A = this chain, B = another copy of it.
Amino acid sequence: MTATVHRLGSRPVPSLDPMIELVAHDMNLVNAVILDRMQSDIPLIPKLAGHLIAGGGKRLRPMLTLASAQLLAYGGARHHRLAAAVEFIHTATLLHDDVVDGSDLRRGRRTANIIWGNPASVLVGDFLFSRSFELMVEDGSLKVLRILSNASAVIAEGEVNQLTAARRIDIGEERYLEIIGAKTAALFAAACRIAGVVAERPDREETALDAYGRNLGIAFQLVDDAIDYVSDAGTMGKDAGDDFREGKMTLPVILAYARGDTEARAFWKDAVEGRRAEDSDFAEAIDRVRETRAVDDTLARARHYGQRAVDALGIFPASAAKDAMVEAVEFAVARAY
């Protein structure tokens, strides 16, 4: 047996394309389920849901379910419905997030709450959330239901945790990792793990898929946080400085604050408390994260989790699916360069 050691950084220009191609056929079937099940006799529901669902999202989470199923050479069709359920949970979360954050733009388009109002976004989110459970119930696996209902509760807890940490400069790296582990990584982990359930694989494979998704989710979120402080960003439909101007607590801020002197700490405290939202303030913030290597080290942390994600796949034999899943991690951690 030949050991295959995947080291991050081995591909010069990593891309998500191999994974997109790998799951293209399956994703068409998932999209059909999504379109079918977001319908309702109440016209506002498909209109509002469709705005977000058709709005250029990458469908990364359902893609992970599909890729994981291919990794396990699963030959059935149950994962299509479940991948749609995962995307519905994610979409419901985004709708509620935009209400919670008062966001007006997502992926470069006006948010649903701006177009149709907060009440509609809250209620259509609830509808999609209920629909996701209906899809799972149709599938009929209590194990899948347990994994995804638990992930949903953990996501909601993570969101409340984040809300109570908002604009508090002193939350620290541990609490921050707890928050993103819940609000972002839990669904990545569940999306991968359920493939192991439908393919009826042993626990250790489920656990490995969970670990792959969870670590990828954390890496993904950390890179997202870093991108906000990299001035030529924009590839992910996000503008540099958005998090900063909203006073969001992210790892670059946490590191820059922890490593700064009294004067730097006063600057960051002012920023997260909403008193530093000018362009000149953002320019100063960029200088400060550079000085303290806060972005570089946020990306180093991301690579650490990315490497763990890749290594979690070590128990699976080589395959096109595995290659694509490894490259997806490389892509996730390379985005900010």
Contacts and interface: CB of A to CB of B under 8 A. Distances in A.
A164 B134 contact: no
Nearest to A166: B119
Contact of A129 (B129, B134, B160): B129
A157 B93 CA distance: 17
Contact of A120 (B40, B101, B149, B163): B163
Contacts of A152: 126, 129-130, 133
Given A145-B137, A157-B41, A163-B119, A96 B126 contact: yes
A133 B132 CA distance: 11
Nearest to A92: B126
A143 to B, nearest CB: 9
Chain copies in complex: 2
Interface string A120-148: 10111011011101101100101001100
Contacts of A92: 126
A42 B129 contact: no
A133 B156 contact: no
Contacts of A44: 160, 163-164
Given A149-B133, A150-B134, A127 B160 contact: yes
Max count, chain B CB within 10 A of own CB: residue among A101, A119, A122, A153: A122
A99 interface: yes
Interface string A248-279: 00000000000000000000000000000000
Contacts of A118: 99-100, 118
A127 B145 contact: no
A127 B156 contact: yes
A127 B142 contact: no
Contact of A100 (B119, B142, B149): B119
A336 to B, nearest CB: 29
Contact of A122 (B99, B120, B153): B99
A82 interface: no
A265 B241 CA distance: 53
B42 A126 contact: no
A70 to B, nearest CB: 27
Contacts of A136: 149
30 contacts: A41-B157, A42-B160, A42-B161, A43-B164, A45-B160, A92-B126, A96-B122, A96-B123, A96-B126, A99-B118, A99-B122, A100-B122, A120-B160, A120-B163, A122-B122, A123-B156, A123-B159, A123-B160, A124-B156, A124-B160, A126-B152, A126-B156, A130-B156, A131-B153, A133-B149, A133-B152, A134-B146, A137-B142, A137-B146, A145-B145
